[in-house]
Structure 1
Amino acid sequence: MHDFPENLGLATDLFLHRETGMVESRDGYLVVRTPDAPEYFFGNLLVLERRPSASDLKPLEQAFAQLIGTPPLIAHRTFTWPESANADSIVTLDAFVERGYDATVYRVLVATPDDIRPVATNALIEVRPFDMQRDWDDWSRMQLADMADPTAITSQRFMAHQQLAYKRLIERGLGNWWGAFINDEQVGSLGLFFLDGIGRFQSVITGPEHRNQNVCKTLMSEVIRRTAGRSDQLVIVADEAYHAGNIYEAIGFRQRGRLASLCQVPRNLTAR
């Protein structure tokens, strides 16, 4: 992990991208590509050294076209970079937002095994790794339901690619996908993969009808307990605009930096 080692969110993102796609340094950018999933918006992107300014807009779009691609194959544009760790620092990207980009700022949350605290859990929940195709089918349905257009062919293709990519990581012994089940019904899930002694969580989700029932806390606490010894640090990246970060802090995670991204999606495409 030689790129942005001080930002564990970005470093672990790049490690996963190297395992499931391609990462190369070109023309002052880190170029991330997932050739077999062109509509994977956050798998085909440029990593920048710092936050872009309004004057960077045109050069960035030109670089994206040259290094990632153009329509019809690549119909989006995505950029990401490490942000100031100061949580009070306002990230303004108005020039890009006016051009149709979605701007998102994420908290990079880190814990050591010793930081993890006991939290309220739900005794009805059974936690286990996915071990049958039905688990993955239920996972896909839950993830798709969280998207703007679950029925879009691009959303379906994106989820099929993600499932295949994660299964390959699991087959290689790099981690597992874990489910939370109540009476054999999947009510939540997460991925946890181990990269150079760091555990990186992926896509923590709870079904809408089971929220506020300690599903996330139960699932994360049990997965951390059952994977003890595999990592010195645990990392999770959470959108600053959502409350999930508070759940992770209750478990013992602390903010260690921020990430930001800009994504301009094609009309009627929703795979993120």
Structure 2
Amino acid sequence: MHASVSNLGLTTDLLLHAQTGIVEALDDYIVVRTPDAPEYFFGNLLVLPRRPCERDVDRIEHDFAKLVGTPPRIAHRTFTWVESDEGSVDLNAFAKRGYEATVCKVLIAQPHHSRPVVTNREIEVRKFCFQEDWDAWSEMHLADMSNPLEITSQRYIAHQQTTYKRLIEQGFGDWWGAFIAGEQVGSLGLFFLQGMGRFQSVLTAEQHRNKGVCKTLVSTVVGLTANRAERFVMVADETYFAGKIYEALGFEPHGRVAALCHEPGSIATASR
């Protein structure tokens, strides 16, 4: 049985990918493909059975090309795996080859055991109801990207919007916004699969950070949807401050997931 079964972060990722793309167990891997979005780096990837070492790179790159794709259609390479619960993770050897590494905490909360927090009473939390909500969502997410004007970024955001709308239409969940005086200042997705509520893309607009938007949004949505899930799952970059916010709300660490992504145009060192 693949290790992802015991890691609720990766498990819920795969459950979502199975609704929006193709998920297959092949050889030693789980292969994720999103045929209509080849530029979706984390929708076209290999799930590895364990953390790779530098001597594995040529092999897993070869297998990625065979199982996921090659340029020009698939111009990136992405790998993910279940990481050990404790200790530092040294992936510097991959950075020298042009890969960006991330290690994320998987955080779990019980629906009726959230901690009381101080929320921002100016914030209205509601489901997305209008196309204007999604337009503001796209603008906010593009502004948070490193290259918002690139056509690949815009295609990615357009695909994500279409995908999330389709999941909502199929009854898997909703997208929620935080609004101050009618302006969207934050948002998140929450989708329900096999008794679990999985949060997606929690984001606060840069100019509205440090105003309690994230705490207000997450705690309110958990309260409003508590009867739909046995537990809520959140995945957060362990180097990013948001994880501490979620833990303050009652989310508890439940493992880690790591990933390597070599984006198109990433520059490898001469040793490559």
Instruction: Tell me the TM-score normalised to structure 2 length.
Output: 0.96
Work out the CA distance in 2 between the residues paired with 1:242 and 1:143. 17
| C-alpha distance after superposition, 1:70-124 (max 9, x if no partner) | 11110000000000012xx111122211100001000000011132111010000
1:251 aligns with 2:260: no
| Corresponding residue of 1:85 | 85
1:24-39 equivalent positions in 2, closer than 5 A = 24-39=24-39
> 5+ residue gaps in structure 2?
267-272
Contact conserved, 1:238 with 1:245, CA < 8 A, in 2? yes
CA distance in 1, matches of 2:82, 2:63: 19
The partner residue of 2:165 within 164, 167, 171 is 167
Supply the RMSD in Å over aligned alpha carbons. 1.2
Structure 1 residue 2, shift from structure 2 partner: 7.7
Q: After TM superposition, give the deviation of residue 3 of structure 1 in Å.
A: 6.4
Map 1:1-272 → 2, pairs under 5 A: 4-86=4-86, 89-267=87-265
Whole-angstrom CA distance in 2 between matches of 1:249 and 1:35: 36
Give the secondary structure class of the aligned counterpart of 1:60.
helix
Asked if structure 1 preserves the Cα contact closer than 8 Å seen for 2:105 and 2:235, the reply is: yes
Letter in 1 for 2:62: Q
| 1:257 alignment partner AA | G
- Unaligned residue ranges in structure 1 (runs of 5+): none
Give the TM-score of the pair, scaled to structure 1.
0.96
State the AA in 1 paired with 2:56: D
Share of identical aligned residues, percent? 63
For residues 141 and 55 of structure 1, what CA distance do their matches in structure 2 show? 41
Asked whether the 8 Å contact 1:129–1:179 carries over to 2, the reply is: yes
Q: Is the 8 A contact 2:48 2:81 kept in 1?
A: yes
1:207-231: per-residue Cα shift (whole Å, max 9, x none)?
1111010000101111111112100
- 1:267 CA displacement: 2.1
1:139, 1:189 within 8 Å by CA — same for their partners in 2?
Answer: yes
| Corresponding pairs, count | 266
Q: CA separation in 1, counterparts of 2:135 and 2:39?
A: 21
CA contact (8 A) 2:3 2:49 kept: no
C-alpha distance in structure 1 between counterparts of 2:89 and 2:139, whole Å: 34
Distance 1:3 1:14, change over 3 A: farther
Whether the aligned pair in 1 keeps the contact of 2:103 and 2:256 (CA below 8 Å) is yes
User: 1:6: Cα distance to partner?
Assistant: 1.4
Contact 1:115 1:253 in 2 (8 A): no
- 1:31 partner amino acid: V
Measured in 2, the distance between the counterparts of 1:136 and 1:245 equals 25
